[in-house]
Structure 1
Amino acid sequence: MIENNAVKVILEKVAVETGKGIGKLAEAFFGYMGLKAENKHEIKTLKILTDRVLSNPNQLVEYHGKTLSITPNSPIEERARLREDAQSTRKQNNLETVVLHASNELNDDSEVSDEPVDDYWATRFFDMAADISGEDMQIIWGKILAGEIKRPNSYSIRTLELLRSLTTQEIQALKETLPYIIVMNSDYFIISVEDILKKYNINFNRISMLIESNFLSPITLVVEKIHLKGGVDTVQKLFNKNYVICMNCEGEDDRKFDLPIYSLTFSGKELVKLLQPEGDKQYMLDVVNYLRNKVNPPIKVTMHEIKEWAKPFGGFSYSMHDISNEAEISDTKSTTDSIQE
């Protein structure tokens, strides 16, 4: 069973006003945790019951202890009451499951800010979380709640709205694209090079879907302007969770070039920081190959394994060993013109 301390921290941080229905969550939750741990079969039965009620209004369904009874053709008023009760039960179960997942993210070693969670944010969060029923999404919402408790103002309401509105297809498109997100400074993007996009099945339909879901910016003709200074040890880095590409000039002359990209929105950035997706190694090797072949005159490009993060997609340390020449880099030739100085 989850330690009550973690749950208590969550409830104390968000139970700001009993009148909003958030404060009352604390009163009921500890009993719920015992039921959750000891009577999983009954919880599953209740969920089946709730689904049955919502799917068929022409029957009266009752549950007493371990006895389930279904009576067809009950009065419409009774069916309406039962439907409302079932919807309330489902929403409450969703909320408490999200809180349970948040408690999994917190432990005795978690650094929790003394700053309270914003009342409006908490109210909107629980309003939305009540309708989140899929387990995978409930885990994500639990991560958001835990992150907001640790550091208030970490996640915007716009990001919550993005998550809530995602369709099953959009969620799948997002999952398939996350390994190819690259970060440079504070910019998050997908490199828009035709052959690389084609190789990793990042097609027009997927890009359009991610734009419509507000994960990618609707401004499609975007370039990342890169300026490498010559005669100095300054290194420009492109990175994901696992690997970093380092670029620098080997001579005295500066190098400037444009990198075509699809840029992430602010909410997209917050999701990447939250989910911390594993980066695709071969994809990064293909980017190395692209940079080596397309920047003219050539620049020095190396790739290294990231060893440790100070915070998610913040400061990191990496191995000095160049892994870009250890494996054969696929021949990814862009159909675009070479990038000129």
Structure 2
Amino acid sequence: MSNSNLPEKENEIKTWLGQFIQDLTTIKLPEVAERNLVRSVSKLITGFLDIPAAYLHEIKRRIERETEAQDLILRANAKDVVELNRKDQEFIANTASYYSIQQFKEAGNRRAVLEKAINELEDRAISEDAKEEIDEDWLAKFAKIANDVSKEDVQLILAKILAGEIVNPGSFSTMALAVLERFDRKAAKQFAELSNHICNVETGTGLVIIATKTTYSGGLIRRGLVAHEIQKMLNPKEYPRIDSYSLLVDVGVLRPFISTRLFNPTEFIEFKVGSTKVGLISNGQFAVPLERQNDKPFKCIELTTAGYELLPFLETGQCPEKYFKELAEFLSSETSHDLIKH
């Protein structure tokens, strides 16, 4: 590396990039995945996708100085600002103060996401190498999102996504990134709550079966009732309701309509609701075996494609007791079988 005016200090790492690169030596990854990790660190810490290879090798051996490229860019930018605003020193000072604080905060957010992503990779046993290098445009979009995320729970989701993309580029689409950009803590909390209701069966993951109960008892509808009273009698009660998750519809995680899906009753012999293992058992000798029952159309709340991609990165909890009871009653009326927890 060429000479610079930066001071030399032995055995001291002075940059975030340097510290991260040195820490990477403790993570054992296949070649392409390791390269993806280095590119991710470089992009999120410095804004550059590819730091010169000679410099990276020097860092891996021993970091002793700041990157000269970064130093030159900073000095060049400062010179441009001064030339542009040489007659307004107060403006320069205010602008520099504002952007310094903003950039420091954004860099801290990116650093926090990176640290969590590295921890995630350290916890994984990765034997198969990535088939391609991580996409530059994907990293640029990801870095933009990470800039503004300071909540630890959302940072953890970002970290898991980045770790997944490093070892398997293309597993998380740019479309899903666009949805993630609209995420905030409230949306993440609501999505986590919804995920506890999601049923994982053979024909579909990411579906919430709506437990429907009809309130109409079969009596005559007397004359003189207004329209909304008739609707209240005829329309079933539904749980959960899609309008309880309007924010997830707005951000693009949930489809804005209720779908109808066909299910074979045998799919419910063993399945999961959230992280709870459940299943149907016969409730009497007169119950028709599930294998002999026809497919049944159930109303469902359904995730979008981006929602499906985001789902694995959530910490799914136990099925809420209210939903379990409502679903058990609904499936019992449909199949003459009881829903139990395993």
Report how far residue 95 of structure 1 moved. Answer: 1.2
Counterpart check, 1:227 vs 2:264: yes
The equivalent of 2:76 in structure 1 is none
SS at match of 1:87: helix
- With over 3 angstroms needed to count, the CA separation of the structure-2 counterparts of 1:82 and 1:281, relative to structure 1, is closer
Which residue identity does 1:245 align to in structure 2?
Answer: G
SS at match of 2:125: coil
Counterpart check, 1:239 vs 2:272: yes
What does the per-residue CA deviation read over 1:286-313, in whole Å, with 9 as the maximum and x for residues that have no partner?
32232012x1xx44455453xxxxxxxx
Which residue identity does 1:103 align to in structure 2?
Answer: I
Contact 1:189 1:263 in 2 (8 A): yes
Counterpart check, 1:114 vs 2:130: yes
The equivalent of 1:187 in structure 2 is 205
The equivalent of 1:273 in structure 2 is 312
The equivalent of 1:67 in structure 2 is none
In structure 1, C-alpha distance between the alignment counterparts of 2:200 and 2:237, rounded to whole Å: 21
Report how far residue 79 of structure 1 moved. Answer: 0.9
In structure 1, C-alpha distance between the alignment counterparts of 2:134 and 2:330, rounded to whole Å: 45
In structure 2, C-alpha distance between the alignment counterparts of 1:190 and 1:247, rounded to whole Å: 21
User: In the alignment, which of 324, 335, 338 is matched to residue 284 of structure 1?
Assistant: 324
User: In the alignment, which of 14, 32, 49 is matched to residue 22 of structure 1?
Assistant: 49
In structure 1, C-alpha distance between the alignment counterparts of 2:268 and 2:199, rounded to whole Å: 16
What does the per-residue CA deviation read over 1:232-288, in whole Å, with 9 as the maximum and x for residues that have no partner?
xx8665423231334796177442211111111111122221114013162335322
In structure 2, C-alpha distance between the alignment counterparts of 1:271 and 1:225, rounded to whole Å: 24
The equivalent of 2:116 in structure 1 is 101
Alignment of 1:61-210 (within 5 A): 75-107=90-122, 110-111=125-126, 113-115=129-131, 116-185=133-202, 186-193=204-211, 202-203=240-241, 205-210=243-248
In angstroms, what is the RMSD of aligned CA positions? 3.8
Report how far residue 8 of structure 1 moved. Answer: 8.4
Contact 1:187 1:263 in 2 (8 A): no
In structure 1, C-alpha distance between the alignment counterparts of 2:26 and 2:325, rounded to whole Å: 42
Q: Choose between structure 1 and 2 for higher RCO, CA contacts under 8 A separated by at least 6 residues.
A: 2
What does the per-residue CA deviation read over 1:29-76, in whole Å, with 9 as the maximum and x for residues that have no partner?
x99xx9xxxxxxxxxxxxxxxxxxxxxxxxxxxxxxxxxxxxxxx711
In structure 2, C-alpha distance between the alignment counterparts of 1:247 and 1:265, rounded to whole Å: 32
Contact 2:198 2:206 in 1 (8 A): yes
Contact 1:14 1:119 in 2 (8 A): no
List runs of 5+ in structure 2 lacking aligned partners.
1-18, 64-88, 215-235, 283-287
List runs of 5+ in structure 1 lacking aligned partners.
35-73, 306-341
- With over 3 angstroms needed to count, the CA separation of the structure-2 counterparts of 1:111 and 1:301, relative to structure 1, is farther
In structure 1, C-alpha distance between the alignment counterparts of 2:324 and 2:115, rounded to whole Å: 36
- With over 3 angstroms needed to count, the CA separation of the structure-2 counterparts of 1:168 and 1:75, relative to structure 1, is same
Identity of aligned residues (%): 20
Alignment of 1:252-271 (within 5 A): 253-271=292-310
TM, length-normalised to structure 1: 0.62
Report how far residue 146 of structure 1 moved. Answer: 1.1
- With over 3 angstroms needed to count, the CA separation of the structure-2 counterparts of 1:95 and 1:169, relative to structure 1, is closer
- With over 3 angstroms needed to count, the CA separation of the structure-2 counterparts of 1:153 and 1:141, relative to structure 1, is same
Report how far residue 100 of structure 1 moved. Answer: 0.2
> How many residues matched?
254
In structure 2, C-alpha distance between the alignment counterparts of 1:275 and 1:108, rounded to whole Å: 17
SS at match of 1:169: helix
Which residue identity does 1:189 align to in structure 2?
Answer: L
